[in-house]
Amino acid sequence: MGEPRARQRKFAPRTRQGCMTCRARRKRCDGQRPDCQNCTRLNLSCEYQAPRRITADAASSQDSESSPDSSLTVGPLTHSLDPWDTLPGDEIGERKHLLRYYVEAFVPSVSVATIATGSFYTSLYIPWAFECDGMLDAILALSSAQLARRSASADRAQHLRAVSARHQRKCHAFLADRVPGTGGPPRDAHQVIGIILLLVGLEALNGDKSTRWLSQMKCVRGILQMLGNPGESWELHSLRRHFTYHNAMASLMARVSKNESLFVYDDLMLACEPETPLVVDPLMGITYYLCSLISRIQYVSSINPAFPQISEAAFAVIERDIQQWTYGSPIGLPGLDLPQALDLIALAEAYRLAALIQLYRTSAAHKVLIPSCASRAMGFISRIPPGSPAESSLLYPIFLAGAELDNEPEISKCFKRLAKIQQRNCYENTSNVQKVLEEVWRPALNGEQKRDWEDVLQEWGWSFTLG
């Protein structure tokens, strides 16, 4: 018996034409297009570098071949190297691409920490997406809407917007089939709540300025009240958390909206208690209980003015609860590094001060306290570095505190911070905030009295969520 022959390894030929994925992995690439064998085998996105265009000055173009010293400029790449920017050509592949984008890009872009414990975005909504067509459509509508805003190609962005609109229509059809007109609880109530809350997020992403999101919130509020909370499941608790965040944002628009029927002032049963052990929420961080308190601020201005003592008592209770609110320290939580933990603490304190600003705006006697709260809130906001995950939930405090600024350096700093946030998560409601604050600041920059943001919103007929 002869000696065993050594196994001959087959290598792809050396080439400079390999895909960007293999080059990043330091693997030899066979150069097949549109997908090389390595990427096909590992189910990776196969990206090739676009050809570069060499340009020269027109005056020296005729001498460029004979003159080695002629000045040449390498033009910009014609296509983005963003791995999400290339869509598969078939519908199934595109759906998988958008689902991956939701998990790997969208959820991190809106989460205040990289290890948000119990994230309903992934641990609840993704499993439901494989069981419920409406949930899948909501996720695909969100993913394609955000991806359209970061696409380098105008045609691709237009296609993704059309994809998002198509899945949004499917969501509405799904909801119409399950929400009865008789006022009873809907079929698949938990999934219906989750879908509507994702659609509220889609309104924020698209920068919608109507009260449609408030109508959606009223619908969710009604369903939650019908379900009650005896022996509440983890799924229902997660939905209440998601609702609480958006309900806090809705409370800010209570005095601006001209449609009083969109607000229900008897949902105190939806209030929550401080949590133990500490949970890092993807949207609220460690401010879950505080957001529940923020939701109650709308009741202060809704109580019958014929009984001012009731309003004063409600004001005092909410003020005390906000000021005395305590939270567990996120420092030392498994998987959460120290910088992120400190950012969550700064975010919580910025929310506390923003909540006090919102509350003090309802009382003429307390408005003198607002500038101090705004200054301190901006201090906590500045502690959160640009690009931090906690930055994704800064819109609420930066709007309320920023509206109180009246000097150009601070205004410029605030505006630049908003621009960076919008660039990071591509949410158009950030652009709405910029436009409103510009109108608020404009008179102050001209030495006049700055405008009130509520007056601006009422004048423009705008209503949008800061979520």
Residue-wise pLDDT for 261-317, tens only, equals: 555 544 544 556 666 678 899 999 999 999 999 999 887 765 555 556 667 888 899
- In this predicted structure, the answer to whether residue 73 has a pLDDT above a threshold of 60 is no
Looking at residue 76, what is its pLDDT?
Answer: 34
Higher pLDDT, 354 or 89: 354
Higher pLDDT, 402 or 305: 402
- In this predicted structure, the answer to whether residue 325 has a pLDDT above a threshold of 90 is yes
Looking at residue 260, what is its pLDDT?
Answer: 54
Per the prediction, the chain carries an average pLDDT of 83
Looking at residue 72, what is its pLDDT?
Answer: 33
Over range 136-162, report the average pLDDT: 93
Kindly report, residue by residue over 124-143, the tens digit of the pLDDT. 999 999 999 999 999 999 99
Looking at residue 13, what is its pLDDT?
Answer: 44
Long-range pairs of 130-133 with CB within 8 A, sequence gap ≥ 24: 132/188, 132/191, 132/195, 133/170, 133/174
Give the Cα separation of 366 and 359 in Å (integer).
9
Kindly report, residue by residue over 332-388, the tens digit of the pLDDT. 888 889 999 999 999 999 999 999 999 999 888 999 999 999 999 999 999 999 999
Over range 21-27, report the average pLDDT: 68
pTM: 0.79
Looking at residue 232, what is its pLDDT?
Answer: 74
- In this predicted structure, the answer to whether residue 85 has a pLDDT above a threshold of 80 is no
Looking at residue 152, what is its pLDDT?
Answer: 83
Tell me which residue has tokens 């380098």.
152
- In this predicted structure, the answer to whether residue 9 has a pLDDT above a threshold of 70 is no
What does the domain layout of the chain look like in residue ranges? 15-48, 87-460
Give the Cα separation of 365 and 102 in Å (integer).
47
Looking at residue 301, what is its pLDDT?
Answer: 64
Looking at residue 423, what is its pLDDT?
Answer: 87
* Cβ atoms within 10 Å, residue 7: 6
Give the tokens for residue 316: 């005092």
Looking at residue 343, what is its pLDDT?
Answer: 96
Looking at residue 11, what is its pLDDT?
Answer: 42
Kindly report, residue by residue over 195-227, the tens digit of the pLDDT. 999 999 999 999 999 999 999 999 999 999 888
- In this predicted structure, the answer to whether residue 393 has a pLDDT above a threshold of 60 is yes
The helix-helix angle for 308-324 and 338-360 (nearest 10°) equals 170
Looking at residue 231, what is its pLDDT?
Answer: 64
- In this predicted structure, the answer to whether residue 404 has a pLDDT above a threshold of 50 is yes
Looking at residue 292, what is its pLDDT?
Answer: 93
CATH classification for the domain delimited by 15-48, as one of 3.40.50.11440, 1.10.3720.10, 4.10.240.10, 3.30.70.1230: 4.10.240.10
Looking at residue 106, what is its pLDDT?
Answer: 94
Looking at residue 270, what is its pLDDT?
Answer: 52
Looking at residue 184, what is its pLDDT?
Answer: 76
Give the Cα separation of 14 and 29 in Å (integer).
8
Over range 45-64, report the average pLDDT: 49
